[in-house]
Structure 1
Amino acid sequence: MAAKKRSFGRVRKLPSGRYQARYLGPDGIDRPAPRTFRTKKEADDWLADRQSEVRSGDWQDPDAGAVNFKTYALEWISERGLSPTTDELYRRLLRLHVLPTFAACDVDQITPPGVRAWRAQRLATTKAPTTVAKAYRLLKAIMETAVDDELIRRNPCRIKGAGEESPVERDIATVEQVDALADAIGLRWRLMVYLGAYGPLRPEEQAELRRKDVNLDAMVLRIRRAAPELTTGRRALGDTKSDAGRRHLALPSFLHTDLQRHLDWYAEEGAEGLLFVGEKGAPFRRSSFGRKWRKARVAVGLPDDFRFYDLRHTGHTLTTRSGATLKDTMVRAGQSSEKAALFYQHSNLDRQKEVASGLDAMVRAARKTSKVEPDQKRSGTQRARNA
């Protein structure tokens, strides 16, 4: 049967009794429907939807999304100009959590139900909600770029709150525990423990500190660069984690002796000399330091999951208790967002008791000033009823 002409598209009945629809796209290419239809009305409705897309400007090439997701995702990472550590993180998240499910898919084959099923499977398998949240955010960002590239019309990652992390409140070390760690780890690395806690400096920032960055008289460090160590063992010398990471850091005066002694005994010579080097003169390595850290942690009795990086929690908490503002804390820690700073500010049970004690003292002082206790303001009958 000859195709019936109409203002938009064509419909014809096939020998099988089903109906075929096709139309001329804005790109001048004849576009058949991806399926046949049981009735002529179904074919007409499909064409009406395509015509509406063309008129509203929402039409997209149905073949545009036929791009392999793995290829697109790896190109996405390469084009971002990421820091070595972020690049490494994204590729690891892709390899371990995203590609096992979506590597063989085209971009337009990833659907909201598929994303929901993938996330549920990852949560059930890994028992690591923070890692899954990171992987979800990565997938969402890649698919958002696919929307911008007009490969798909809508981002299939639409799970509310799926990219938010809710890390467990971590322990903080006490002043006594920090001192014990510094003693247990040995003289060469003692200062690194103190700078991690009272800087609070990131380990990759300490790894790139040089003599010229130290003003011993003023007790100020200049943080300019960072040298994170990748899983390959390579030191990725580069900028700090953010612009806020480049800063001048005033140290508490009680660290003067440790800083002076470290400069005299362990730092490399010359203005460019590294502050922290190993016994054989090699730059700081996370792997070799990690062994010493674990022994010190065990000796002090801290839990197995207490990381060197957790010393920053101690620094943030003590800085806040000393009266520092949120901005002060952000500057000291080299953080560019309030959210990042607040993540490290803890209010544990001991601190809550301090707050409650302070509140108790304040209320009692106010009542003493007024010289009228709340119980005295009630009638005799009321006091008797509550006796």
Structure 2
Amino acid sequence: MAVDDLWYLRKRDSVTGERLRSKRHGRGKRWRVRWVDPDTGQARTELFERRADADRHDANMHADISRGQYVDPRAGRLTFKDYADQWRQTLLHRPSTAERTERVIRRHLVPVLGELPIAQIRSSHIRGWVKDRVAKLAPSTLTVVYFGTLVPLFNAAVADKRIGTSPCVGIRLPEIEDAQYYIARPEEVHALHDALPERYRPIVYLAAGCGWRGGEIFGLERDAIDFDAMEVEVRHQLTVVSGRTPYLAPPKTKTSRRANELPTLVANSLRGHLETFRSLPEEIDDETDPRRPIRRPANLVFTRGDGRPIHRADWSYIWRPAVKAAGLPEGFGLRDLRHYFATVLIFGGANVKTVQLAMGHTTPAVTLNTYVGYWPDAVDQTRTLVDSALGCTDVVPTGT
């Protein structure tokens, strides 16, 4: 590595002893730093106007190469938008997750950071992005975008040696208030059931009585219901992504593949539905095993009137009028019936593990983080347990 003065030659005047001027004297940047890229063995150069800047760059290159932290300065000239596009295409995501990641980058990251060279993005830019998005996103959504997309993207840029360090350091996000879900009353659940067209009514009881997600309900096949054992099995989910018809995909997590006990109300509703709405198997793509996708006839329990799978765009037009007719809050969805199911178990005395398995959560921690505020009288229960173990006394000890 070396710093060269491009305005002067190494050769000196034979009379004065002064260095001779080069042909480019007074034109362009004067100082050049030379080094060898340790990854490729190729010569690299960078030009500077001031000697101090050139010396600093030379020292940094020397230190980075010595520590094994060298990053080619040219690699960081790629814009955030271009790198983000490259990065997301390498991710091993399900199609629905890939579609969501693309949408997050396009809507929430590119408008603020898109045209900046990735190596020039600093923590101040990220703080500016947070400030810009605060007015547009709920705190919980902003946190998901930050930790779910932005932080991994910059971590990948470091691993790819596009940048030396991630700018996602010392970033403060808005606080997230404890989630408060609207828990429907039993009469509201029944009212919602009655407000739907007859062919869709059992969906309400399946969500409220078994805690199933929407995709699990719409992907339910008739042979997954065992009325003798009073069980219904989650084998897959119906997935909808842009540009293709709905298809069967693996459940959301490994623990989402489960068998739920079938309450009598749900069983009767499903039995009546199967007898009333007889369907013919419909050809559908089955990617439950991503390594061996097939196309096969699926005998779905819930379909549109023409027998085809229910698309989420169609469902919203069916669901919203029923929510309004039942007097439920705007935005009330199948996920809220899933919350209803969880709280029924919790207030019925079910422990965390039971609720986790019934809901198909990945771990008990997910269940606790979601519903910890709904376990009834938690403080009183704790106090009672301690009193039972240590003995209750009416005497309050005084400090000394």
TM range (shorter): 0.7 to 0.9
Deviation at 1:206, TM superposition (A): 0.9
Per the alignment, residue 135 of structure 1 pairs with 145
Preserved contact between residue 202 and residue 309 of structure 1 (Cα < 8 Å)? yes
Preserved contact between residue 181 and residue 300 of structure 1 (Cα < 8 Å)? yes
Alignment equivalent of 2:334, drawn from 304, 308, 314: 308
Per the alignment, residue 258 of structure 1 pairs with 269
Preserved contact between residue 81 and residue 113 of structure 2 (Cα < 8 Å)? yes
Deviation by residue 1:307-348 (Cα, 9 ceiling, x = unmatched): 222111111111222222222222212221334323542636
Q: Does 1:294 align with 2:304?
A: no
Distance 1:167 1:152 in 2: 36
Preserved contact between residue 228 and residue 235 of structure 1 (Cα < 8 Å)? yes
Alignment equivalent of 1:49, drawn from 57, 60, 63: 60
Alignment equivalent of 2:134, drawn from 123, 127, 143: 123
Q: SS of the residue aligned with 2:308?
A: coil
Deviation by residue 1:216-237 (Cα, 9 ceiling, x = unmatched): 1111111111112335673142
Distance 1:284 1:216 in 2: 24
Deviation by residue 1:18-71 (Cα, 9 ceiling, x = unmatched): 9625132235444444533265xx644443332222222222211122323323
1:359 to 1:59, Cα distance in 2 relative to 1, 3 A: closer
Per the alignment, residue 10 of structure 1 pairs with 3
Deviation at 1:180, TM superposition (A): 1.8
Deviation at 1:239, TM superposition (A): 1.1
* Aligned-pair identity (%): 27
RMSD: 3.2
Amino acid at match of 1:91: E
Distance 2:252 2:77 in 1: 36
Amino acid at match of 1:117: G
Per the alignment, residue 35 of structure 1 pairs with 48
Per the alignment, residue 327 of structure 1 pairs with 353
TM-score (norm 1): 0.81
Q: Does 1:224 align with 2:217?
A: no
Distance 1:147 1:355 in 2: 45
Distance 1:359 1:174 in 2: 28
Q: SS of the residue aligned with 1:237?
A: strand
Per the alignment, residue 383 of structure 1 pairs with none
Deviation by residue 1:98-133 (Cα, 9 ceiling, x = unmatched): 112233233223222111111211113x14323322
Per the alignment, residue 276 of structure 1 pairs with 302
Distance 2:355 2:186 in 1: 18
Distance 2:381 2:351 in 1: 19
Deviation at 1:150, TM superposition (A): 1.3
Preserved contact between residue 47 and residue 54 of structure 2 (Cα < 8 Å)? no
Amino acid at match of 1:128: A
Q: SS of the residue aligned with 1:240?
A: coil
Per the alignment, residue 111 of structure 1 pairs with 122
Distance 1:347 1:321 in 2: 11
Distance 2:381 2:71 in 1: 64
Which one is further off, 338-347 or 60-69? 338-347
Distance 1:255 1:28 in 2: 69
Per the alignment, residue 198 of structure 1 pairs with 209
Count of residue correspondences: 358
Q: SS of the residue aligned with 1:64?
A: helix
Deviation at 1:305, TM superposition (A): 2.6
1:358 to 1:59, Cα distance in 2 relative to 1, 3 A: closer
Deviation at 1:202, TM superposition (A): 0.6
Distance 1:34 1:316 in 2: 64
Structure 1 unmatched ranges of 5 or more = 1-7, 379-387
Distance 1:34 1:328 in 2: 65
Q: SS of the residue aligned with 2:66?
A: helix
Preserved contact between residue 9 and residue 47 of structure 1 (Cα < 8 Å)? yes
Alignment equivalent of 1:101, drawn from 73, 97, 112: 112
Distance 1:10 1:64 in 2: 22
Q: SS of the residue aligned with 2:162?
A: coil
Structure richer in helix, relative to its length: 1
TM-score (norm 2): 0.78
